[in-house]
Amino acid sequence: MPARMRLQRFGKKSKAFYHIVVADGRAPRDGKYIEKLGTYNPNTKPATIEINFDSAIQWLNDGAQPSNTVKAILSYKGVLYKKHLIGGVQKGALTMEQVETKFAAWTAEKDAKLSNAAKGIVDAESKDKADRFAAETKVKEARAEAIAKRKAAEIEAKVKAAQAPQTEEAPAEEAHEEAAAE
């Protein structure tokens, strides 16, 4: 059975952390492995991937089959692209200097895209935070206004209650005085 490049799970429940390993195809997921190629941490934004390019390319050239997830990771980091370029060197279409310049240009372009994406994530998070703060401020102001209206209504009711007995006595006194005058 050929060697497989796959993920080996570590970490807590709901906080997975993976090692990228080369193992025998019949070995269990978290069992023995031949070589550790790197790590993959999907818990960070963006996901943290560390990989040994030379070993990964060597294993791919030797016939190791990557799992779907590992293949996506290798593609994302550029290992498959570099293997493709090195295949061009073996066929005589490119030189190693050309491979290194093409790969460096691709890496620079990829890093620029990633930094823009990371900046976009940070901007979106800060905008979301500002929007939530503004909404919370509006709710707070509405509550304060409602409390102020309620207190004003209570004070007004107390004032009316305090004035009501005086106004009732005044007409009674006037009626009493009018009756005495007659």
Where are the chain's structural domains?
3-94
Instruction: Tell me whether residue 20 is exposed, middle or buried, using C-beta atoms within 10 angstroms of its C-beta: 0 to 12, 13 to 18, 19 or more.
Output: buried
Per-residue model confidence as pLDDT tens digits over 44-93: 878 899 999 999 999 999 999 999 999 999 999 999 999 999 899 888 88
Instruction: Tell me which long-range contacts 143-149 makes (C-beta under 8 A, separation of at least 24).
Output: none
Q: What is the token pair recorded at 167?
A: 């106004």
d(CA 41, CA 91) in angstroms, rounded, equals: 36
Fold of 3-94: S16 Ribosomal Protein; Chain: A; (3.30.1320)
Instruction: Compute CA 105 distance to the chain's CA centroid, rounded to the nearest angstrom.
Output: 28
Can you tell me whether residue 47 is helix, strand or coil? Answer: coil
Does this model's pTM top 0.85? no
